[in-house]
């Protein structure tokens, strides 16, 4: 195992931001991770764990050791009458995992196709799309404590999932390295096509009989039509969370802005489409130098070529302020800022 110094992180973040790490190492197993955590440097520096780099914005060089999680492997570990329990290494590409599930007829993650990033980030962010969140298919995870190097198992309840939230973003921040995730995937399919434009896309595809593969393909088509490929234009997907407001506030806004887009939540609040708010403030398609807001989806901030992380962050600040001025709603970033 080799720890390298002064390594560029441009190829390790989907924004394509050119920053460097003071130290850099990768690991492909729990044993390698334990050995890495035992190095003298780890008694000096708190590591930054990096997966697919699809949910982070670097605004400066990383003055610590970056540890890239490359633990692979997917296996069916058990099953019961209703579920398949499928374990995946934290370094497995998420979309590849979804495709694996489709190939084996494991249902539950088809709505989450084409989300960038790796398996290890899915419980950290409680990723979600088109009416489905990871907490609905999550069974457990294994994680190694950075300080004592002990491997622990955490259940769904242990993770304290919320909207794009988990215990790893708060109480356990920078304390654990997720090494694997086990998902509880359905044997009997329950299709979820009511959210967004999934049903419309299926109709356009000419689908007569639903399948998890057709639903996944509909989601892939929608995402591909609206979201830029990070290999072509640097981005991290949705930059902001959809804000949640009270029903009373929503009704007031509805009078002033009849076309406002909102969805009722389990708590009888209303989740507002952040992309709609940003678009109403005139940011969709905005470009200033190499920093911009995507022309097809206002929720996506982009690096057209050589933008800095600070430049993208400053644009996000301007967007947050303009949305608040117009709607009295304070947007929160979904992307992690370093």
Burial class (CB in 10 A: 0-12, 13-18, 19+), 330: exposed
Q: Is residue 296, in this structure, part of any structural domain at all?
A: yes
Q: Tell me: do 38 and 128 sit in the same domain.
A: no
Q: Who contacts 141 (Cβ-Cβ below 8 Å, separation ≥6)?
A: 123, 153, 154, 159, 178, 180, 181, 182
Note if the pTM is more than 0.85.
yes
Q: Tell me: do 63 and 80 sit in the same domain.
A: no
CATH number at residue 39: 3.30.43.10
Active site residue 238: yes
Q: What is the pLDDT along the chain (338 residues), one digit of tens a residue?
A: 689 999 999 999 999 999 999 999 999 999 999 999 999 999 999 999 999 999 999 999 999 999 999 999 999 999 999 999 999 999 999 999 999 999 999 999 999 999 999 999 999 999 999 989 999 999 999 999 999 999 999 999 999 999 999 999 989 999 999 999 999 999 999 999 987 789 999 999 999 999 999 999 999 999 999 899 999 999 999 999 999 999 999 999 999 999 998 988 878 899 999 999 999 999 999 999 999 999 999 999 999 999 999 999 999 999 999 999 999 999 999 999 99
Q: Tell me: do 54 and 156 sit in the same domain.
A: no
Q: Tell me: do 96 and 175 sit in the same domain.
A: yes
What domain range includes position 324?
Answer: 234-337
Spatial distance between the Cα atoms of 142 and 99, rounded to a whole number of angstroms = 22
Residue appearing with tokens 């902001």: 240
| Residue 316, helix vs strand vs coil | helix
Single residue among 22, 54, 69 that ends a domain in this structure = 69
Q: Tell me: do 9 and 95 sit in the same domain.
A: no
Q: Is residue 59, in this structure, part of any structural domain at all?
A: yes
Q: Annotated catalytic residue: which of 110, 133, 201, 334?
A: 334
Identify the CA nearest to 7 among candidates 68, 56, 52. 68
Q: Is residue 126, in this structure, part of any structural domain at all?
A: yes
Active site residue 165: no
Q: Annotated catalytic residue: which of 164, 166, 180, 214?
A: 164
Q: Is residue 310, in this structure, part of any structural domain at all?
A: yes
Spatial distance between the Cα atoms of 64 and 292, rounded to a whole number of angstroms = 29
Single residue among 151, 170, 186 that ends a domain in this structure = 186
Spatial distance between the Cα atoms of 271 and 314, rounded to a whole number of angstroms = 25
Which strand (E) or helix (H) includes residue 99? helix 94-103
Q: Tell me: do 48 and 78 sit in the same domain.
A: no
CATH number at residue 248: 3.90.78.10
Q: Tell me: do 297 and 318 sit in the same domain.
A: yes
Q: Is residue 194, in this structure, part of any structural domain at all?
A: no
CATH number at residue 141: 3.30.465.10
Q: How many domains does the chain have?
A: 3
Q: Is residue 213, in this structure, part of any structural domain at all?
A: no
Q: Is residue 286, in this structure, part of any structural domain at all?
A: yes
Q: Can you give 163-198 as a three-state secondary structure string?
A: CCECHHHCCCCCCEEEEEEEEEEECCCCCCCCCCCH
Active site residue 180: no
Q: How far is CA 47 from CA 141, 282, 295, 310, 336, in A?
A: 20, 39, 36, 22, 15
Alpha-carbon dihedral angle through residues 42, 175, 334, 73, given to the nearest 10 degrees: 80
Single residue among 171, 186, 201 that ends a domain in this structure = 186
Q: Is residue 199, in this structure, part of any structural domain at all?
A: no
């Amino acid at each position: 195992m080799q720890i390298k110094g002064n390594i560029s992180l441009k190829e390790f973040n989907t924004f394509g931001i050119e920053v460097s790490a003071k130290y850099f190492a990768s690991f492909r197993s729990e044993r390698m991770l334990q050995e890495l955590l035992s190095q003298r440097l780890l008694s000096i520096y708190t590591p930054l764990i990096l997966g697919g780099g699809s949910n982070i914005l670097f605004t400066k060089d990383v003055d610590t050791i970056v540890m890239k999680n490359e633990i692979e492997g997917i296996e069916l570990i058990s099953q019961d009458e209703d579920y398949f329990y499928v374990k995946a290494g934290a370094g497995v590409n998420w979309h590849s995992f979804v495709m694996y599930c489709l190939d084996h007829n494991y249902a539950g993650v088809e709505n989450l196709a084409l989300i960038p990033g790796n398996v290890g980030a899915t419980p950290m962010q409680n990723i979600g799309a088109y009416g489905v969140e990871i907490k609905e298919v999550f069974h457990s995870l294994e994680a190694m404590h950075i300080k004592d190097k002990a491997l622990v198992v955490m259940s769904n309840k242990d993770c304290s999932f919320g909207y794009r939230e988990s215990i790893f973003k708060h109480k356990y921040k920078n304390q654990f390295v997720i090494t694997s995730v086990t998902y509880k995937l359905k044997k009997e399919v329950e299709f979820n096509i009511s959210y967004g434009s999934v049903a419309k896309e299926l109709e356009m595809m000419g689908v007569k009989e639903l399948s998890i593969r057709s639903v996944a393909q509909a989601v892939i088509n929608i995402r591909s039509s609206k979201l830029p490929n990070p290999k072509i234009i640097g981005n991290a997907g949705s930059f902001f969370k959809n804000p949640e407001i009270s029903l009373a506030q929503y009704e007031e806004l509805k009078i002033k802005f009849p076309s406002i887009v909102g969805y009722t939540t389990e708590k009888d609040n209303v989740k507002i489409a952040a992309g709609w708010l940003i678009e109403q403030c005139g940011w969709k398609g905005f470009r200033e130098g190499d920093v911009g807001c995507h022309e097809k989806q206002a929720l996506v901030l982009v690096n057209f070529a050589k933008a800095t992380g600070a430049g993208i962050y400053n644009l996000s600040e301007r967007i947050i302020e303009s949305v608040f001025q117009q709607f009295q709603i304070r947007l929160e970033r979904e992307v992690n800022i370093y």
